[in-house]
């Protein structure tokens, strides 16, 4: 049995292994769950802001952090624990390993973000006017940022703390330039140009479209950008991981 | 069909050539020893053969399947036990084994049966549900071996499998190697333990600086260095080194409570030692003649010029 069935089996087995092993690791819980929650508390609570206006941004931030927190940990952790070499000796392709990591990150992102959304609607009168678009935003967002997480794990390191620090260096600036704290419609000049460069901007915009029906870009553009960056992240992660395959073993 | 065929394998890391044009063949069903000093290129060669690394030149075929052209098919034929124990510490022994079975696409019923069999064989049944991180080094190695042989591979690669193990775990590993070989698996064994290679392997390949320097049966390799035979003798009381100033004695070394006398004519040296002991009223506690050892052949073949 070769080809697609083996590829898919590899993704499923690696994803299951990742879910079992990495969802409860302290760095994932810290940077994937607690950190966005604290960010929310720090920026939104007690500041007399319209939480409904900022809800799509908050949900996007949650999804961004949760989805991108599993990926950076897996490869460095496996290299440090010396399990990566055995993984490479199994009949799975490098692509199965990468996609298995992405899917595990995406499921974590969807799971936690859905919980946050469900908890939020208990306290906020959030109405999603386009549930289909809302679901699409969830899927595209988790895939894009889970792929970003795997890309961030690509440097040749067997030190999870180093990779987590590196990944936070990339992730933190993105939340400040993506229309989460300042709506995209109120941005101008260099801030707006930077916002256009951030993939998170398009997820915030897509959530805005789904929740309130107002968005800067057409949903097709937002979705297209998220899909495109997902592909770019996967291709670059693949390129770097293949080059660094045995570094740190 | 040969179990393993390697042709002109080359791997460079920058300016360093770690594997330099290695070619070798391993027959089906044999236990093949792959020896070399630290940094000789053993682990790199295993990584090239098992598809972890891509060679700069050359080919490696497992059961006739090229590992780099058809990696999945080739990997289905083999099991790998890397140098350090490589199992998931947060999973139990049972979960690690199931994970291996899933990687090879084995259905649940087959996996359950094989898990029971291997846990029992490896003496891990009682700790089956404990996280592997709580195991001793020997127990971890047993889990690692069980994972590698889970799918009954045709070729088993072992990289220093007994390194740092206690006697019981070491024996279990050796027994497992024998059992796998009896069941038809070809064994490719990398080891620093020359005695282990001597007793286990039918063919031994010695590499140095990324190149094969010798490949033959242990006995034939020893015979290549036949001149270095020795006689080990111990007396009832301590004797000075000057006692061994006889004809035919090439070199003398203290060896614990014994003396090792190197010679090209052991019969003559034994006669000399017996007559000298009589003259000095010494009792001979032990006297053994040793042929050339594989270790000597190894040292000779891998020593720096």
Asked if pLDDT for residue B239 goes beyond 60, the answer is: yes
Residue A48: Cβ-neighbour burial (10 angstroms; 0-12, 13-18, 19+): exposed
Q: Do A245 and B52 touch (CB under 8 A)?
A: yes
Q: Where residue B32 falls among pLDDT bands split at 50, 70, 90?
A: very high
Write the DSSP string, B100-159. Answer: HHHHTT--HHHHHHHHHHHHHHTT-GGGTTSBGGGS-HHHHHHHHHHHHTTT--SEEEEE
Which pLDDT value is given to residue B242?
85
Q: Do A82 and B105 touch (CB under 8 A)?
A: no
Spell out which residues of chain B touch residue A93, defining contact as CB-CB under 8 Å.
71-72
Percentage of chain A modeled with pLDDT above 90: 43
What is the tens place of the pLDDT at every residue in B201-235?
A: 999 998 988 999 888 888 777 776 665 678 889 99
CATH fold of B4-222 reads: Rossmann fold (3.40.50)
Which pLDDT value is given to residue B22?
93
Rounded to whole angstroms, the Cα distance separating A142 from A120 reads 19
Asked if pLDDT for residue A1 goes beyond 60, the answer is: no
The interface predicted TM-score of the complex, written ipTM, equals 0.86
Average pLDDT for residues A5-25, to the nearest whole number?
A: 93
Interface residues on B facing A, Cβ-Cβ cutoff 8 A: 47, 50-53, 70-73, 75-76, 78, 80, 82, 84-91, 95, 99-100, 102-105, 144, 147-148
What is the tens place of the pLDDT at every residue in A183-208?
A: 888 888 888 899 999 999 999 999 99
Interface test with B, best of A83, A160, A242 (most B CBs within 10 A): A83
Which pLDDT value is given to residue A2?
62
Asked if pLDDT for residue B91 goes beyond 60, the answer is: yes
Which pLDDT value is given to residue A188?
84
Give Cβ neighbours of residue A15 (< 8 Å, ≥ 6 apart): A100, A101, A103, A104, A107
Asked if pLDDT for residue A12 goes beyond 60, the answer is: yes
Among A154-168, B87-101, B191-205, name the one with the lowest average pLDDT: A154-168
Average pLDDT for residues A151-166, to the nearest whole number?
A: 81
Which pLDDT value is given to residue B226?
60
Nearest C-alpha in B relative to A20? B91
Average pLDDT for residues B269-293, to the nearest whole number?
A: 86
Interface test with B, best of A1, A4, A20, A89 (most B CBs within 10 A): A89
Window 85-124 of A: residues touching B by CB (8 A cutoff) are 85-86, 88-93
What is the tens place of the pLDDT at every residue in B133-165?
A: 999 888 898 999 999 999 999 999 998 888 878
Domain layout of chain B by residue ranges? 4-222, 225-302
Which pLDDT value is given to residue B100?
95
Give A47 or B22, the one with higher predicted confidence.
B22
Among A117-126, A141-150, A196-205, B216-225, name the one with the lowest average pLDDT: B216-225
Nearest C-alpha in B relative to A93? B72
Which pLDDT value is given to residue B228?
63
Which of the listed CATH numbers 1.10.10.10, 3.30.70.980, 3.40.50.720, 3.40.228.10 matches domain B225-302? 3.30.70.980
**pTM, two decimal places:** 0.83
Interface test with A, best of B19, B44, B103 (most A CBs within 10 A): B103
Which pLDDT value is given to residue A100?
95
Which pLDDT value is given to residue A156?
63
Average pLDDT for residues A104-117, to the nearest whole number?
A: 91
Asked if pLDDT for residue A249 goes beyond 80, the answer is: no
Q: Å from A62 to nearest chain B CA?
A: 27
């Amino acid at each position: 049995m070769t080809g697609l069935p083996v590829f898919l089996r590899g993704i499923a087995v690696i994803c299951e292994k990742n879910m079992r092993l990495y969802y409860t690791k302290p760095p994932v819980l810290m940077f994937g769950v607690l950190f966005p929650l604290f960010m929310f508390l720090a920026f939104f609570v007690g500041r007399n802001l319209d939480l409904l206006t900022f809800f799509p941004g908050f949900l996007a931030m949650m999804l961004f952090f949760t989805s991108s927190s599993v990926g950076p940990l897996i490869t460095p952790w496996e290299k440090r624990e010396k399990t990566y070499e055995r993984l490479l000796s199994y009949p799975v392709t490098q692509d199965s390993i990468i996609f298995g990591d992405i899917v595990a990150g995406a499921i974590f992102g969807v799971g936690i973000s859905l919980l946050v959304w469900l908890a939020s609607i208990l306290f906020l009168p959030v109405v999603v006017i386009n549930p289909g678009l809302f679901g699409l935003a969830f899927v595209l967002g988790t895939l894009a940022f889970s792929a970003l997480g795997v890309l961030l794990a690509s440097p040749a390191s067997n030190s999870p703390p180093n990779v987590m620090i590196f990944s936070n260096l990339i992730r933190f600036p993105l939340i400040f330039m993506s229309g989460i704290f300042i709506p995209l419609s109120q941005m101008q000049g260099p801030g707006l140009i930077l916002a256009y460069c951030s993939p998170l901007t398009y997820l915030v915009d897509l959530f805005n479209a789904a929740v309130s029906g107002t968005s800067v870009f057409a949903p097709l553009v937002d979705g297209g950008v998220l899909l495109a960056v997902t592909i770019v992240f996967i291709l670059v992660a693949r390129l770097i991981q293949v080059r660094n395959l045995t570094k740190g073993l | 069909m040969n179990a393993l065929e390697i042709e002109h394998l080359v791997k460079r890391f920058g300016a360093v050539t770690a594997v330099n044009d290695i070619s070798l063949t391993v027959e089906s069903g044999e236990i093949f020893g792959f020896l070399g000093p630290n940094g000789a290129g053993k682990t790199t060669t295993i990584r090239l053969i098992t598809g972890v690394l891509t060679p700069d030149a050359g080919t490696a075929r497992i059961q006739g399947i090229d590992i780099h052209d058809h990696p999945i098919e080739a990997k289905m034929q083999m099991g790998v036990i890397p140098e350090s124990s490589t199992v998931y510490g947060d999973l139990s022994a049972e979960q690690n084994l199931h994970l291996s079975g899933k990687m090879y696409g084995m259905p649940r019923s087959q996996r359950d049966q094989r898990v029971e069999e291997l846990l029992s064989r490896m003496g891990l049944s009682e700790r089956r549900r404990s996280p592997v991180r709580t195991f001793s080094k020997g127990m971890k190695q047993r889990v690692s071996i069980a994972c590698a042989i889970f799918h009954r591979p045709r070729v088993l690669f072992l990289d220093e499998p007994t390194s740092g193990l206690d006697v019981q775990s070491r024996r279990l590993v050796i027994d497992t190697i024998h059992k796998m070989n009896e069941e038809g698996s070809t064994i490719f064994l990398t080891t620093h333990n020359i005695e282990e290679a001597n007793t286990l392997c039918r063919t031994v390949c010695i590499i140095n600086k990324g190149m094969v320097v010798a490949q033959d049966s242990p006995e034939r390799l020893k015979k290549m260095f036949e001149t270095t035979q020795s006689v080990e003798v111990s007396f009832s009381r301590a004797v000075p080194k000057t006692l061994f100033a006889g004809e035919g004695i090439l070199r003398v070394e203290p060896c614990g409570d014994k003396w090792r006398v190197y010679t090209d004519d052991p019969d003559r040296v034994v006669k000399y030692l017996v007559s000298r002991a009589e003259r000095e009223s010494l009792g001979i506690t032990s006297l053994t003649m040793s042929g050339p050892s594989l270790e000597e052949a190894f040292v000779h073949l891998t020593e720096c010029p």
